Structure 1
Amino acid sequence: MMISDIPKISLSLPTRWPRAMRPGGIVGPTGGALALLLVALVLRWPTFGDPMLGWDEEFYLFVGGRMLHGDIPYVDIWDRKPIGLFAIYAFFHLFGPWRVWAYQIGALLCVWLTAMLVTRMARHVAPPAGAFIAGLLYIAWLNQAGGHGGQSSVFYTPLVAAAMACILDRLPRLGSDAALLRRTGVQAMGLLGMAIQIKYTVIGEGVFAGLLLLGQSGLGQSGLGQSGRDVRTILKNGSLWVFVALFPTLAVFGLYALAGHGRAWWFANIDSIFLRAAPDPRRYVPELAGTIVVLAPIFLAFMLGWLSGVGAMKNPRDMAFLRRWTLAALASFLLFKARFVHYSLPLFAPLAVAAAPLWFRRSGRIALLLLLGWAILQGERTVWLNFGRVDDAALMNRIIETVSHPAGECVFVYQGPQAVYDRVPWCGLTTHPFMGHLSDIEEAHATGIDVSSELRRILAARPGYILLMQHAPAGRIPESERIVHDALGAGYVAVRYVPAARGLVIFERRDLLSEGASIPRGAMPPAERGATLHENRSAQHDRTE
């Protein structure tokens, strides 16, 4: 997509504003694209350079760095995310000390590209100004749903949006042009296939696109065989498109199989997904409620547009496609039992496009502008409350300073920022360094290891420092909590409290202090250390009861 595809914006509002204040008078095709970039930059700027935006992306960056050192995902470091996501972060890791900025700028560019695609698609069913507002809505809604950084969906949504735009642009001609249909299917399914290797939840939207394309195969009017009515032609097209969509995944599996790690890949990417236990309701219900609150306003706008019939008046076939895409994305969200608010991020692109036709009506214009204002205010409030008030870069430096004296000691992050692993020498204490795999009840039997035995093995190596949260969320494995807290009570002293990540407590092995290692500057006084340890033990007792 070229910048020229971004239309000249003309709000055409029935107002008495001076002409210079009307966006249609000052924003042209290039200005539309630049305006989207500027808005994305301004709204995401407070997070730039922050090394602790989210434990997921911190872990992705760490694994990407380990890949550059020769470690193999699913073998040397275990997780169930597709390797494409780690490969993206391996590229960002090449920027060395600027790697955090690199992935955040990369995420910004992906958000910008998606917003331009949203604007382009919305032009099919909405006026130019309404389409532009749809692009802004996508950008603004991310911040209140955990999309302010480098979540996986930020990187794969441009691929999904490009696939859908490819289909939508050619939709009127697909049923009558067999060659165009076949080519469009290859292009769209190829894009979706690449997206699947970033996050498997794309599969739902891929199935939707494939079924729609197969449906178009039976609408031609050029005769059997060429039009797609012929069953053999439909099967041929379908087989081709399925192969193209699955090729990236099959290629990765093939490489792992040739290297003798096919079973490890299969367990991590396939089997483990179905072995996860049901989430703890004490954690699940509040998280799901928060997700519903974030989704409700933009989903309501989508439903109002649907029920009122706006958009269908301009192009009913395109509007039907966009609504079905939205429902397919929603089905994927529900199918994978999504509850964390960032799992809703893939919904925002289709919802924004499908809401754009509201601009046809005066009341709809008011609603969309209010919706955009709400998204900006809530998103920036979320960002500033979580990241604007605390200098996370300085906090991370304090953490690294603490665990680096004396130098050469291993660090075990039982609970806490995964970025620590990316900033200290990696000891390889475990093949399962992501904290949730050793502590969350959902993962107790889904990682291919005995969690209790793995924890005992890690602690038997006597890491110099252990990090954990003072206020851990519900849903922890009781046995894991007991093992860790028993080890802390027997041989560790709390030496620093960091007011981040639910309150991070750093424990140092007691013999390091007795050998003359000084407690780092800013450490907690002895009474507070004891109180912290007691509080963690009490919390563990409450959970196990």
Structure 2
Amino acid sequence: MSSRTASLPVLAVRRSANWANSKLPLVAWLFAFSLLTRIGALGDQSYSNDEAFYVLVGQLAHQGTIPYVDIWDRKGPGLFLLTFLVTALSPTMVSFRLAAWLCASATAVLISSASSKLFGRTGAWFAGTFYLALLPLYGGGGGQSPVFYNLLIALAGWLVLHERQQLQAGRVGWQIYAAMFCAGMAITFKQCAAPESAFLGCYCLWQLRRSGTELPKLIRAGFGLAFCGAAPMMIFALSYASQGHFAFFWSAIVDANLKRTYNPPLAMLTQGGLFFLSCSPALIVAAAGLFRRQEHDWQTRFLGGWLLAACCGIAIMPNFFEHYALPLFVPASIAAGGAISGGRIRPMTAMLLLVGLLAIGPALRFDLRAQSRVATQRIVTTIQSRDPHPRLLIFGGPVALYSMLDAKLPPSPLRFPMHLFHRYENNSGPFNTKAEVQRILAWKPTVVTLYSDMPSASQNPATTAMIRGYVAHCELWLRQPVRQVFATDEISVYGNCAK
């Protein structure tokens, strides 16, 4: 063996150490900045009802509750597996939010690395920081599902970029198959990730085709990539089928999304236009990076296609809630690094932009998060002092009350309030909403919470009328405003029911 060959492992170790040393300040900055933008929401149980429900599913899964069968929602099984694993370590909201912080920070590191690979190191710090500054502005300051699956998509995109030259040489390494598996795993968190995953797979095949790869080999590679992308969801589907619960799984992942009622087309177009207008800060900066120079044509095509695929992911489920924008920010932030490297945005302008995003967003409104924690705790204290072990029904209000109180939960899979009270959720799953509410009321809940000021246009008239009739025979214990991340709702707490 030659001395040069023998020294290769030593050289590899040295290069790894040099890479870690050179990147360590950036990584430390991104993790610290991420914590700054998320620490206010860390222990706030009412920051987001969605997140409180995810934690509840994870907690109940340790007691044998099966998602989709015993507790229903249309979110993907990967998200519930994650909450199961996190709550195994610690069954608290804080542990869930810490997991979200780690994922957001790691995603920012990958974004910085990808931007550096595409545009040079100058804008890498801005790309990752820009991503972290955008998240809270659009409801991602806690643990919404894209905060987690963006990490998988970012890793898949990073692997594709890393292996681009190998693809151009007609070689498909294990890294590409790993990228497709990561992209497929992202789909198990939320089906909206499917267009991004498909784009990355098609881009790999396009690079292979340009390399002169023959059609039979290209087809075999396509089947291999598709199999790796489909494998995560197939594993979950087979798991449910083996337990005899495939119908519930199919209903949540496919059927419920097709049956769900959406706004009329004109209203949907209006909402969609306003939604993408609200995303303009990210899209404008991304465009400045994408179209900086003609010689970066392939970067423009790659990131432009990725960004378009993320937009398609939003369009296939046109609800246009704020957190639906979060998947856009992975490719947009990578492109934003190009705006700095290309000189379209000066460093001082970039700093002012980041400060502005923090100033107008909720990340640093520690006073609001403190008020939310106090308000939620007041509801908990009121119920505990009057009914320590209630039969609790949250028809409207903080889902976290199910976890915070020593309460008996409703005997129905529909435990997320929106499935009970919202007009567009009526009968969207495998369960008849009205029949489930009747079943819950026959159980005679002793404490009921609901929204005092729910807009009539959002109400399921049948179920709301039933609940209003039931609480007419209860005592009104408390009316308490509780602030979520973007809205304040007044919660009415009724007790001494069914006594």
TM normalised by structure 1 equals: 0.82
Contact preservation (8 Å) 1:41, 1:108: yes
Equivalence for 2:211: 220
Q: Aligned pair 1:506/2:489, yes or no?
A: no
With 381-390 and 436-445 compared, the bigger mean Cα shift is at 381-390
Rounded to whole Å, the distance in 2 between the matches of 1:103 and 1:288 is 31
How far is 1:285 from its partner? 8.5
Equivalent residue, structure 2, for 1:194: 185
Query: Is 2:402 aligned against 1:421?
Result: yes
Aligned counterpart for 2:38 among listed residues 44, 54, 57: 44
In structure 1, the partner of 2:471 is 488
Contact 2:47 2:369 in 1 (8 A): no
2:3 corresponds to which residue?
A: none
- Check 1:173–1:389 CA distance in 2 against 1; reply closer, same or farther (3 A cut): same
* Residue of structure 2 aligned with 1:279, choices 260, 263, 277: 263
State how far apart, in whole Å, the 2-side matches of 1:95 and 1:267 are: 30
Please give the per-residue CA displacement for 1:92-116, whole angstroms capped at 9, x wherever unaligned.
223446x211111111111110111
* The one of 297, 302, 313 aligned to 1:316: 297
Tell me: CA distance 1:96–1:35, structure 2 relative to 1, closer, same or farther (3 Å): closer
2: CA distance, partners of 1:139 / 1:495: 41
Question: Unaligned regions of 5+ residues in structure 2, if any?
Answer: 1-12, 484-488
- Measured against aligned partners, the alpha-carbon deviations of 1:365-406 in whole angstroms (never above 9, x if no partner) come to 255333322222222x465178335151x3333322333333
Change in Cα spacing, 1:383 to 1:421, as seen in structure 2 (3 Å) is: farther
Which residue, 249, 260, 271 being the options, matches 2:244? 260
Residue 67 in structure 1 maps to residue 61 in structure 2: yes
Which letter maps to 1:329?
A
CA-CA distance at 1:49 after TM superposition = 1.3
In 2, distance between residues paired with 1:232 and 1:124?
32
Do the aligned partners of residues 385 and 423 (structure 1) sit closer, same or farther apart at CA in structure 2, a change above 3 Å counting?
closer
Corresponding residue for residue 203 of structure 1: 194
Give the C-alpha shift of residue 338 in structure 1: 3.9
Q: Is 1:447–2:438 an aligned residue pair? A: no
Looking at structure 1, the residues matched to 62 and 98 of structure 2 have their Cα atoms a distance apart, in angstroms, of 21
* Structure 1 residues 5 and 320, CA gap change in structure 2 (3 angstroms): farther
- 3-state SS in 2 of match to 1:416: coil
Q: Which has the higher mean CA deviation after the structures are superposed, 70-79 or 210-219?
A: 210-219
Question: Which residue pairs with 1:457 in the alignment?
Answer: 439
Residues 219-274 of structure 1: per-residue CA shift (max 9 Å, x gap): 225xxxxxx22x22122111111111111111111111111111111112111110
- Residues 1:211 and 1:74: Cα distance change in structure 2 (over 3 Å): same
Partner of 1:304: 288
Unaligned ranges ≥5, structure 1 = 9-26, 222-227, 513-545
Q: Which residue of 1 aligns with 2:88?
A: 94
Counting only pairs closer than 5 Å after superposition, residues 131-530 of structure 1 correspond to structure 2 as: 131-178=124-171, 181-221=172-212, 228-229=213-214, 231-279=215-263, 291-306=275-290, 309-310=291-292, 312-313=294-295, 315-365=296-346, 367-379=349-361, 381=362, 384=365, 387-392=368-373, 394-404=374-384, 405-424=386-405, 425-473=407-455, 474-489=457-472, 491-501=473-483, 502-510=489-497, 512=499
Distance of 1:171 and 1:6 partners within structure 2: 25
Q: Measure the CA separation in 2 of the matches of 1:348 and 1:325.
A: 11
Once residues 235 and 115 of structure 1 are traced to their aligned partners in structure 2, the CA distance between those partners, rounded to angstroms, is 34
Structure 1 window deviating more from structure 2 (399-408 vs 279-288): it is: 279-288
The residue type equivalent to 1:193 in the other structure is G
Aligned to 2:73: 79
Tell me the CA shift for residue 78 of structure 1. 0.9
* Partner-residue secondary structure (3-state), 1:503: strand
Aligned residues: 476
Q: Equivalents in 2 of 1:212, 1:377: separation in Å? A: 38
Distance 1:55 1:287, change over 3 A: farther
Letter in 1 for 2:454: A
Q: Which has the larger radius of gyration?
A: 1
Question: CA separation in 1, counterparts of 2:71 and 2:367?
Answer: 29
In 1: Cα distance, 2:294 partner to 2:78 partner:
38
- After superposition, the C-alpha distances for 1:396-420 in whole angstroms (9 at most, x for unaligned) are 3332233333333200000111111
SS in 2 for 1:336: coil
**8 Å contact from structure 1 (residues 144, 294) kept in 2:** no
In structure 2, distance between residues paired with 1:386 and 1:351: 31
1:480-509 CA-partner distances (Å, limit 9, x unpaired): 2211111111x1121012220501110013
1:453, CA displacement in angstroms? 2.0
Moved more, 245-254 or 329-338: 329-338
Q: For 1:65 and 1:460, locate their aligned partners in 2 and report how far apart those are by CA, in whole Å.
A: 26
Q: Give the drift of 1:91.
A: 2.0
Aligned to 2:333, the other structure's residue is in SS state helix
Determine the structure 2 residue equivalent to 1:18.
Answer: none
Greater mean deviation of Cα atoms: 147-156 or 441-450 = 441-450
CA distance in 2 between partners of 1:6 and 1:40 (Å): 25
Amino acid at match of 1:271: D
Q: In 2 relative to 1, CA 349–362 (structure 1 residues): closer, same or farther, beyond 3 Å?
A: same
Question: What are the Cα deviations for residues 43-74 of structure 1, in whole angstroms up to 9, with x where unaligned?
Answer: 21111211111000100000111100001111
> Structure 1's 312 and 369: CA in aligned 2 closer, same or farther, altered over 3 A?
farther
Instruction: Report the 3-state secondary structure (helix = DSSP H, G, I; strand = E; otherwise coil) of the residue aligned with 2:444.
Output: coil
Tell me the CA shift for residue 199 of structure 1.
Answer: 1.3
Please report how far the alpha carbon of residue 28 of structure 1 lies from its aligned counterpart in structure 2 after TM superposition. 4.9
TM superposition shift of 1:205 = 0.6
Change in 2 beyond 3 A, CA 1:347/1:255 = same
Percent identity of paired positions between Structure 1 and Structure 2: 26
Q: Distance in 2 between matches of 1:386 and 1:453?
A: 42
Separation in 1, partners of 2:269, 2:463: 23
Query: Which one-letter code corresponds to 1:158 in the other structure?
Result: L
Report the CA distance shift for 1:361/1:238 in structure 2 as closer, same or farther (over 3 A). Answer: closer
Question: 1: distance between equivalents of 2:201 and 2:118?
Answer: 22
- Give the partner amino acid of 1:402: T
Cα distance change of structure 1 residues 377 and 253 upon mapping to structure 2, 3 Å threshold: same
CA contact (8 A) 1:145 1:294 kept: no
